[in-house]
């Protein structure tokens, strides 16, 4: 349509020196397409479009999961939006969420929509988000800084582009994130940002049992090792069961051979109260649920520490009892 329009608006002479003349059928087709695709559609730019998108995000039916939110935004003005509307939508959320006078203030759906628009229109949305995050970090109020730090750590592509003046602010927030933030998840994300990695590794050492329990997938090796050290240090029956239920059982498949070696060494030396806890037997059962090669490695470690005679693949709980009595 655009090519034929240009040929008609700016006379183009063909090889036979005659001006381009579309057929009547082509003209009717273009008129139909112009009506269907452009003239009968509501405005897609400007204030009205942003108000419509804001209402969409504030709807109680707006999805809470990012993939679903992407699908929903595809059915809105953002499906075929140009860069100005996309950037305007990013601005609307970035500066509306921390504004106490905005309907979007602290709305979880707004953050889901923001992450969704980055997925949907990454080329236009991501650079704008990086720019906005750096602006937010320069604020002195709590909410803008909170959002800036959260987005910088949540999206490594954004975090890597934080300007030097904003980096000390993100580092401080990493040590003491907001009450609503899951501290271990924040640290987990921070490990993937080059300039923040050392701070993240230091923050891991400050995590508690309840923090480790908040991370249940894609456990970084550094976090698994710290969790293994904490689990192996349980001095009481209550501590042993608490650690097992909160994180050790969940981390079973993420512990390395070195992590397990540490745990079993402390058990064999009698420096913890794991053997007396039912949580430890459940931990062994979780190890037994892994594939045969890993189970063989666990059995070898147990045997190397004098906890021999354990065939945890067949009857993990009963055999764990026999090994520890």
Residues 201-237 pLDDT 10s: 999 999 999 999 888 778 999 999 999 999 999 999 9
**CATH domain 46-212 topology:** 1.25.40
pLDDT at 10: 62
CA-based diameter of the chain, in Å?
Answer: 101
pLDDT at 80: 86
Residues of the chain with pLDDT under 50: 308-325
Output the pTM of the full model: 0.74
For the chain, the structural domain boundaries read: 2-39, 46-212, 234-323
pLDDT at 172: 93
Residues 172-211 pLDDT 10s: 999 887 666 788 999 999 999 999 999 999 999 999 999 9
pLDDT at 7: 64
């Amino acid at each position: 349509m655009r090519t034929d329009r240009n040929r008609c608006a700016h006379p183009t002479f063909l090889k036979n020196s005659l001006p381009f003349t579309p057929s009547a059928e082509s003209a009717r087709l273009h008129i139909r397409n112009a009506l269907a695709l452009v003239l009968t559609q509501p405005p897609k730019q400007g204030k009205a479009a942003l108000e419509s998108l804001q209402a969409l995000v504030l709807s109680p039916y707006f999805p809470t999961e990012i993939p679903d939110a992407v699908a929903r935004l595809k059915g809105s003005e953002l499906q075929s939006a140009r860069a100005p509307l996309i950037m305007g939508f990013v601005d609307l959320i970035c500066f509306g969420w921390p504004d106490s006078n905005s309907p979007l203030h602290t709305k979880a759906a707004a953050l889901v929509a923001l992450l969704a628009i980055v997925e949907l229109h990454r080329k236009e949305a991501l650079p704008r988000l990086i720019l906005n995050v750096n602006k937010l970090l320069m604020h002195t109020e709590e909410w803008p800084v909170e959002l800036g730090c959260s987005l910088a750590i949540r999206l490594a592509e954004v975090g890597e582009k934080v300007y030097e003046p904003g980096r000390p602010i993100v580092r401080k927030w990493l040590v003491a994130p907001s009450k609503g933030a899951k501290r271990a998840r924040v640290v987990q994300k921070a490990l993937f940002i080059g300039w923040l990695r050392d701070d993240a590794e230091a923050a891991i050492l400050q995590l508690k049992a309840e923090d480790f329990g908040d991370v249940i997938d894609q456990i970084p090796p550094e976090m698994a090792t710290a969790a293994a050290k904490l689990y192996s240090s349980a001095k009481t029956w209550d501590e042993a069961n608490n650690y097992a239920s909160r994180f050790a059982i969940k981390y079973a498949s993420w512990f390395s051979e070195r992590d397990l070696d540490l745990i079993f060494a402390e058990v064999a030396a009698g420096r913890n109260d794991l053997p007396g806890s039912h949580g430890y037997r459940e931990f062994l059962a979780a190890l037994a649920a892994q594939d045969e090669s890993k189970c063989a490695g666990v059995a070898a470690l147990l045997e190397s520490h004098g906890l021999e005679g354990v065939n945890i693949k067949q009857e993990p709980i009963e055999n764990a009892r026999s090994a520890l009595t």
